[in-house]
Structure formats: C-alpha cells, structure tokens
Structure 1
Amino acid sequence: MEKEIILPKVLSRSFLHSFSTRSLRTNRLLERVLAFTFLAPSLLLFSIFLFYPLIKSVYLSMYLTDPRGRVAQYVGLRNFTDLLTSELFYKSITVTLSFILMTIPTGIALALLLAALVQNKGRGMFLFRFIFSLPMAISVGTGSIIWMILYHPTLGVLNYSLTLMNIAPIHWLTDPKWALISISLMTVWMNLGFQFIVLLSGMQSVPEDIYDSAKIDGAGSFRTFFKLTLPLITPSLFFVGVVSMIGAFQSFGQINILTKGGPMNSTNVMVFNIYQDAFVNFRFGVGSAQALILFFIILILTLIQFKFLEKKVHYQ
C-alpha cells in the first residue's frame, strides 16, 4: 500500500515539474515574440534607411558607375587606393579636422560659460535661458541665410561694425583665410542652443546641499565651479563632446549654402567632397568609398573617446 501511495506522488511531482518547465519556456517564447513585434517597425526603418544604404555603399565602392548610377565595371579596391593617393582627399580630411578643432572646443566652452551664468534662479534668468537656447529652434538653411546677410561684404553688419572701428572690411566667405573661420563661427552659434540646454540641465541636477557645504567651507565661486560643478557634470560634457564630434563630421548644409566648398577648397570638408563626387560628378563608386572611410574615422574616434575620456566621467 505504501508503494502504491508513493508512486502517484512521484508521478504527480514529475508532471508538475514538466508542466512548469513547459509553461516557463512558453512564456519566454511569448515574451520574445512580443518584443520583436514591438521592435519590428524600428527594425524595418533601420533596415531601409541605415542597413541597406550601408550594404549598398560597400557594394558600390568596388565598382565604377555610369552617370545614372548603374554599375559599369568591377574595380575591387581601386577606388580606395585612388583616394589614398589623392591630394584633394587629404585636403578634405585636413579641412574637416581643422573645422572640428575650431567648432567643438569653442562651442562647448561658450555653452558652459552661458550655462554657468544663468544657473542661478534669479529674476530674468528665464529670459536669458530662452535667448541662449533659441539657435536650437532655427534650421540650418535659415541660419545660413542669416549669416550670409551678416557676412555680406558691403551690407553686412559685421563689416559695418569694423568700418566704425577703422578696420578694413573682411571678405568673410570669399577669402581662403577667413572662409573656414566664418563657417566655424556660424556652426558654433547653430549648435550653441543644444549644448547649452544639455549642460544647463546637468548643472541643475547637482544637489544644492553640495553648494551649501562648499559655502560653509568658504569656497569661492571659481573654486566651487572648477572643483565641484565641472566634475559633477562630466557625464553631460562627455555626451556633448561625442555628439558634437559626430555632428561636426556630418556638417554639410551651411557649407553648401555659404561657400560651396570654396574658395580654393578651403571649406571642402569630407561630407561635401562626398557630395561633389557622388551627386555632381556622378562618381558613385568613389563617393561610396569616401563614405565608408568617413564612417570608420568617426567610429574609431568615438571608440577612442569612450576608451579614454569615459574614465574621467564621474557618474553619481
């Protein structure tokens, strides 16, 4: 009798165990199906606008194409070797790096200064925050037209101000020495709103108790800013730095509107050079090869930033 009683108990336990295992697997399968269902629209958009163009660029980079973009001849890696021996390509890389060095440090430093000035909740600070964040609401085309008027050699406000100070007018967009500087000034202003908002939000997330403790210890404003504020907003600084670098490499609209890559290729950055080869000269193979090189340059620099600069980021 005891064996007959024990046997059904063992069978029931094994049945319940197998049933619970099956139900757990079924739940996991349903969760995965549900997750992929929600991700399907995003994956579809990424496949159409990101993965397919990337694969197509790799394919076209190994071919010569006709003016209609149709594949004409397989050349392997010749497009890449031609680029690596092209003086114009290295010129575009130099111009791009110069443009990045002139825009990113200047823009972040200016945004940091403005954010520090309006950090306190005083009267009228809301108005200044609104004014400083305005460039974020202006498109590249509109901003370029505004600065084109400012840079006008005879009617522009900048040259008029220089004449009032008895300084000779500057050919902002037609002088090779000033063209890239002019584009950089406009780009710094255009990106200022986004950088200002991110850094200001990082400053406002710092607890007030830390500043109160610093005041009790007798720390001044400058010491508090450099010893407390800057280390505590390093996540925001790191984010702004990475995003600004990627955005600087992709700058195109203001250059296309203001200078067309000139004069004398002084503003011919890599993206505009890709545009010239692919959509003006109809060399889609060379343009695709340049796009892939630009992709790997951005990828390597971003990985370097995450490798070395993220170590100095202090997450709360």
Structure 2
Amino acid sequence: MAREKPKPTPGSRSKSGVKAKGAKELAHALLYLGPSLILFLIFVFYPMVKTVYLSFYLTNPSGDPVVWKGVQAYLSLLGSGAFRNSVLVSFLFVLYTVPGTILASLLLAVLANVKLRGIGVYRTLYSLTIGVSVASAATIWMLLFSPADSGMLNYWLHLVGLPKIGWLVTTRSALPSLALMTVWMGVGFNFIVLMGGLQSLPEEIFESARIDGAGRWKQFRHITVPLLSPTLFFLLVVDTIAAFQSFGQFNILTLGGPDHSTNVIVYSIYREAFFNSRFGPASAQAVVLFVIILVLTLVQFGVVERKVHYQ
C-alpha cells in the first residue's frame, strides 16, 4: 500500500507564496532595468575593467597588450616627473576653480534671492552659462585672452594704465587664466542649484531673526549658510569631480603648455593614448585618477559632511 504524501501546512504555503512573489517581482524589476544595465555594462563597466587590465601591460600602437608589466607599471608611473607634475597641476586647478565657483555662485544667488521687480532678468543672465558648451566658451575666452591689442582683457588693462598680461602664453598665468574661464562656466549650474536651496529655506526663521535685531550679515552667517550647507556640500563634491575631469579648455586653448604648466591628468592621458599610442601607461594614469577622485570623495563625506546641518 502506497504511503500518502504529507499535506502542506498553511505556514509552508505562505512561505512558498512569498518566495514566488519575490521571484516574480525580481523578474519584473530586471525586465525594466535590463536596457539600462546593458548600456552600463557596455559603456561603463566593460571600459573600466578593460582599463584596469591594460594598465598592467605595454601595448602596441593598435592597443593590444604585448608585454606584462604588473605592479611595475604603476611604480614607473609614480616615479615619472611628468606624471607627478600633471597631478600637481590638477590639484592646483581644483584649488583655483572649486572654491571660486561656489563663492561666486553663492554671492550671485544671494543677490538674486530678493523680491524686486524685474529680478527674473538677472536670474536668467546669471544662469546662462549652463547652456554654453566648452568649445564655445573656449572660443569666447580665446578672444578675451589674446595677448595682442585685439584681446579685450589686455585692452581694458591698457585703458586703466596697467601692463598687458600674457594670459595663456606664460607659465605663471596660463593655469589661473583657464581656472577663471572654468569658474565662469560653472557659475550657471551652481547658481541654479543654490537658488533652489535658498528659495526652499523657511521664511519664518528669518522673520524671527529680524525681530530679534539680527542684521543681514548675521542672518547670512548663522542662518543661511548652516541651512544651505547640504546644498553647498553637494556642489563641493560635484565641482571637485568635474574639475578633475576638465579637458576641453586645455585641449583647445593651451594643449598642456606652456612648458607643461597646464598639463592636467586628463590631458596627459589623452596625449599618452592618442598621440603616443601608449595605451598601457595611459590606462594606468586613468586608474590613478579614479583612485584620487574616489579617495577625495570619501574624505569629503567622512570629514566635511560632519559639518553639514541637515534639517
């Protein structure tokens, strides 16, 4: 006589039902995320893995790995004076641009955050640079930076009796000049973000401060900045990453010169790979740049975020 199969208990039915429902929801999620995951695999994850792989090799002009270098590839890179110079130039560029962009944008946002007739015109003007491409901005600033009499900046200096400046042709002024252009380009995005942050601040706090006799400076220092600190922290992280990835202005205006004074890491990677056909060392530089940005971002989240005031 055959034995009867044990009947499933209500508890086992519910567990199996939950598992089936979870598997179904996972399948639906993967179905919707599938196209995005495929694009990420093709254009993000595969290039990252390929870059790390090539960084341990010397390659032929076609980019095929030929000679295994291993860790020695990174040791040779870190011992290179040219690469150390590009790292220093990149850090200086970040130091020149990030604080300047945030401070200029904050000043403009505070000035534009008033209830005046026609203030929308100024808000539009302050944010216009967000729609300007790097190539267009470089063309505009190339005319401004021209060392000849046709250059607008030197023309204005001549009008007030000051000597001309070789904006892009001297090692002392080339990097600050590019930083000035980059600050101008970044103000538009930062201004829009900060305006959104300012307009979301509760007006009741400022009314209470005014009743207590607090002036504009005290309101800005003790109320506006603390409440706006999450937005400022976001811009700090985003602007730092963007500054390390800047390329167009260096490629169009200076080509890394004069005397490598504007040879940032990204431009060095570009020259090494597509001019010297040394894809292995270029990949190693890209990996080092990724590590630098990652470490700086972690430091910002670990140190700077502690001073952020979340409501």
How high is the TM-score relative to the length of structure 1? 0.94
- 1:15 shift after superposition: 4.1
Confirm or deny that 1:287 pairs with 2:290.
no
RMSD: 1.3
Paired residues, what number? 305
Amino acid at match of 2:72: R
In structure 1, the partner of 2:253 is 258
Which residue, 274, 286, 303 being the options, matches 2:269? 274
Tell me what 1:153 maps to: 147
1:175-190 matches, cutoff 5 A: 175-190=170-185
For 1:93, which of 83, 87, 93 is the aligned residue? 87
The answer for the alignment partner of 1:35 in structure 2 is 29
Aligned pairs (5 A) from 1:70-219: 70-154=64-148, 155-219=150-214
Aligned partners of 1:36 and 1:191: how far apart in 2? 37
Q: Write the mapping of 1:6-45 to structure 2, written as runs, cut at 5 A.
A: 15-45=9-39
Q: TM-score, normalised by structure 2?
A: 0.95
Does 2:221 match 1:226?
A: yes
SS of match in other structure, 2:256: coil
Q: What SS class does the counterpart of residue 73 from structure 1 fall into? A: strand
Secondary structure of the residue aligned to 2:66 is: strand
Distance in 1, Cα, partners of 2:278 & 2:73? 10
CA distance in 1, matches of 2:222, 2:163: 44
Q: Indicate the larger mover: 173-182 or 37-46.
A: 37-46
1:170-226 C-alpha deviation (Å, 9 max, x unpaired): 111111111001100000001110111111111111011111111111111110011
* Counterpart for residue 240 of structure 2: 245
Structure 2, unaligned stretches of length 5 or more?
A: 1-5
The AA in structure 2 aligned to 1:33 is A
Find out whether 1:47 has 2:31 as its counterpart. Answer: no
Please give the alpha-carbon distance, in whole angstroms, between the structure 2 residues aligned to 1:59 and 1:25: 39
- What letter corresponds to residue 160 of structure 2 in structure 1? M
Partner-residue secondary structure (3-state), 1:263: coil
Q: Partners of 2:275 and 2:89 in 1: how far apart?
A: 20
Q: 1:304 aligns with which of 299, 304, 308?
A: 299
Identity across matched positions, percent: 49
Post-superposition offset of 1:306: 0.3
Which ranges in structure 1 are unaligned for 5 or more consecutive residues? 1-10
